[in-house]
C-alpha cells in the first residue's frame, strides 16, 4: 500500500502547484517529483505501528526529505524567494532558477537512490545486547553530571558579567568573537536540559508513566525555558529547536506515545518560534519592539529578511544555495576552487581546543565565499559568507558534483546502521533514550554542514550517551523471542 499512497501524495502536491502558477510548467518538475516520490516511499512508513516508530531515522528522513527535496523547491519558484534577494548577495545571478533547481533535482535523485539502496542493505539487525538502566548508577553518575553542566553554565554567565552581559556579547557586531574559545564548555553546559529529562524520567518512572495534557504542557514549558537559558540566548534558533525536538522525541519514545494532533501543533509552534526569535537574532535590543509593534516588525523583516518565507525557505532547507553552487560550478570558465575535504577538516578542528592544536586550515567560510562571490572574495575577518550548504552543498564545495553521490552513499550506510541499531533494541533498553537524539542528528546531517553536526552532537548526544553507557548493565541475548520477552519484564519502562 505504500507505493500508491506515496504516488498519490506527490501527485497531489504537483496538482496544487500547477493550479497555483504556470511557472511550474517546466521540465524541472520531473526530477523534483522523482525525488519527492523516493522520499515519500520512506515517509509513509510513519503510518506503520500506529505512528510508534516516528523517530525511526528512515521514515523521519523521508518526511523531512519530502519537504527538503520536493516541496521547498516548488515554494521557491512559487514565492520567488532566493537568497540572492537579500542585502548580502552576489551580483551574478541565474537567468532561470528552474534550470538549476532541475539540475540539482537530477543529482539529488541519483543521490537518494544510492542512499535508499544503502540504508536497506545495512539495516539488518542481528541479536545483540540488552542495556538495562540501573537506577542507583544513574543517580551516582547523573546528578554529578547535572551539577557539572549547571556550574559550567553559571561560569559562562559570570564570565560575561551576568545574563545581561551574556546577551550584550551576542548583540555585538562581531558576535562570534565574544564566544571564541568556549566551544567545548558551551556544548557540555548546554546539554543540561536533555540530561535533566533523561535523569528524571528514569528515576521517577511512576510520575512519568502517563502525562495528561496539562502536565505535558507544563513539562515542555519548563524544558523550553531551560533550553533558552542554557544556550538559547546566544541566538541560535536551530540549536534551540533541535534540543526541543529531542526532548519531545524522548517523551514519545520513553514515556507515552504522542498523538498526530500534538505533532501538528508542535510543528506549527516551532515555525512560529523560529519566526519570532529571528527578530532576537537580528538584535536583542530591538526584539521587544519588533514583538509588540507590527510596523517595526515589518521594517525589520524587510531590512533583514527575517520573515516567514525566510524561516521556511532559508532556515529549514537549502534548495536555492545548492542550485546556485551548481550554477557557479557549471558556468563556462568557472573559477570555483574545490576544498578537497578542507571544509570537513576545518569543521572537526574547530572543536579541538587551541591549547592542543592552533592549526586551523581555510575551511567552509573561504571556499563557500569564493564559490558564491568569486575567487579571491574571501577576506578573513572582513568579508565572508556564513551560509549553511547541507550534505549535497558541502560535498560540492569539496569535490564538485561528483562528490554528491559519495556523500549520499556514506549517509545511507550510517542511516542503515542506525536503523539496525534501533530495530534490535528491546522495549525498556536504556539506549532507547538515545534513538531520538541520533535520528535527529541524521536530519541535521542532511540539512547542515559538518561543523553544525559536530556541535549538535556534542551539545545533545555526548553527555547523555556517556550517562547511559556508564549507568547500564549489559546482558547478551541470542535465544530468540522467549529470552526477549523475559528481558521486557525486567527492563526500565515497559
pLDDT at res. 235: 65
* DSSP reduced 3-state for 56: coil
Number of domains observed in the structure of the chain: 1
- CA atoms 289, 294, 296, 299: torsion sign: positive
Give the pLDDT score at 354.
67
Question: Quick count: other Cβ atoms within 10 Å of Cβ 115?
Answer: 30
Residue 470 lies in a domain: yes
Is 273 part of any domain?
A: yes
Nearest to 57 by CA among 348, 344, 443: 443
Q: Does 143 fall in a domain? A: yes
Is 178 contained in some domain?
yes
Cα 293 to chain centroid, rounded: 31
In a domain, 192, yes or no: yes
Specify whether the CB–CB gap between 250 and 194 falls below 8 A: yes
SS3 308: helix
Q: What is the dihedral of CA 172, 177, 181, 182, to 10 degrees?
A: 20
Res 438: pLDDT: 94
**8 A C-beta contact, residue 378 and residue 370:** yes
List the domain range (segments joined by +) for residue 213: 81-494
Decide if 58 is inside a domain: no
Q: What is the pTM of this model?
A: 0.89
C-alpha cell at position 181: 574559545
Side-chain half-sphere exposure of 145, counting CA atoms within 13 A: 26
Q: Quick one: cell of 329?
A: 560550478
Please check whether residue 16 lies inside any domain of the structure: no
Residue 150 lies in a domain: yes
Widest Cα–Cα separation across the chain: 68
What pLDDT was estimated at residue 129? 79
Please give the angle made by the CA atoms of 372, 377 and 383, to the nearest 5 degrees: 95
pLDDT under 50 in the chain at which residues?
A: 173-176, 479-494
Amino acid at each position: 500500500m505504500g507505493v500508491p499512497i506515496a504516488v498519490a501524495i506527490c501527485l497531489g502536491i504537483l496538482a496544487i502547484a500547477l493550479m497555483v502558477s504556470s511557472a511550474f510548467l517546466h521540465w524541472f518538475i520531473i526530477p523534483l517529483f522523482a525525488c519527492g516520490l523516493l522520499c515519500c516511499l520512506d515517509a509513509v512508513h510513519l503510518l506503520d505501528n500506529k505512528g510508534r516508530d516516528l523517530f525511526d531515522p528512515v521514515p523521519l528522513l523521508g518526511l523531512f526529505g519530502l519537504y527538503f527535496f520536493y516541496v521547498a523547491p516548488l515554494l521557491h519558484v512559487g514565492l520567488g524567494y532566493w537568497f540572492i534577494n537579500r542585502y548580502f548577495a552576489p551580483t551574478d545571478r541565474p537567468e532561470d532558477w528552474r534550470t538549476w533547481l532541475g539540475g540539482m533535482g537530477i543529482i539529488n535523485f541519483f543521490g537518494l537512490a544510492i542512499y535508499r539502496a544503502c540504508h536497506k542493505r545495512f539495516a539488518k539487525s542481528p541479536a545483540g545486547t540488552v542495556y538495562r538502566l540501573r537506577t542507583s548508577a544513574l543517580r551516582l553518575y547523573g546528578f554529578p553530571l547535572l551539577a557539572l553542566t549547571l556550574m559550567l553554565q553559571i561560569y559562562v554567565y559570570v564570565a560575561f558579567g551576568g545574563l545581561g552581559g551574556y546577551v550584550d556579547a551576542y548583540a555585538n557586531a562581531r558576535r562570534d568573537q565574544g564566544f571564541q574559545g568556549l566551544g567545548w564548555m558551551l556544548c557540555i553546559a548546554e546539554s543540561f536540559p536533555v540530561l535533566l529529562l533523561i535523569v528524571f524520567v528514569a528515576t521517577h518512572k511512576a510520575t512519568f508513566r502517563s502525562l495528561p495534557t496539562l502536565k505535558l504542557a507544563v513539562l515542555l514549558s519548563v524544558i523550553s525555558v531551560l533550553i533558552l537559558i542554557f544556550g538559547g540566548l546566544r541566538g541560535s534558533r536551530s540549536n534551540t529547536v533541535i534540543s526541543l525536538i529531542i526532548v519531545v522525541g524522548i517523551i514519545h519514545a520513553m514515556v507515552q506515545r504522542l498523538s498526530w494532533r500534538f505533532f501538528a501543533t508542535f510543528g506549527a509552534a516551532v515555525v512560529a518560534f523560529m519566526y519570532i526569535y529571528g527578530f532576537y537574532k537580528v538584535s536583542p535590543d530591538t526584539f521587544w519592539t519588533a514583538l509588540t509593534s507590527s510596523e517595526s516588525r515589518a521594517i525589520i523583516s524587510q531590512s533583514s529578511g527575517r520573515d516567514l518565507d525566510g524561516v521556511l525557505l532559508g532556515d529549514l532547507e537549502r534548495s536555492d544555495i545548492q542550485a546556485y553552487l551548481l550554477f557557479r560550478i557549471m558556468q563556462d570558465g568557472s573559477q570555483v576552487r574545490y576544498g578537497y575535504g578542507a571544509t570537513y577538516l576545518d569543521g572537526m578542528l574547530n572543536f579541538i581546543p587551541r591549547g592542543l592544536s592552533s592549526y586551523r586550515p581555510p575551511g567552509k567560510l573561504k571556499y563557500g565565499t569564493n564559490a558564491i562571490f568569486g575567487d579571491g572574495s574571501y577576506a578573513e575577518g572582513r568579508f565572508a559568507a556564513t551560509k549553511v550548504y547541507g550534505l549535497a552543498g558541502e560535498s560540492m564545495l569539496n569535490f564538485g558534483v561528483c562528490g554528491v553521490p559519495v556523500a549520499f552513499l556514506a549517509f545511507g550506510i550510517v542511516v542503515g546502521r542506525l536503523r539496525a541499531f534501533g530495530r534490535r533494541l528491546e522495549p525498556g533498553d536504556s539506549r532507547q533514550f538515545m534513538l531520538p537524539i541520533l535520528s535527529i542528528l541524521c536530519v541535521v546531517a542532511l540539512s547542515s554542514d559538518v561543523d553544525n553536526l559536530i556541535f549538535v552532537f556534542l551539545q545533545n548526544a555526548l553527555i547523555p550517551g556517556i550517562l547511559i553507557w556508564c549507568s547500564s548493565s549489559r546482558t547478551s541475548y541470542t535465544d530468540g523471542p522467549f529470552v526477549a520477552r523475559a528481558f521486557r519484564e525486567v527492563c526500565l519502562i515497559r
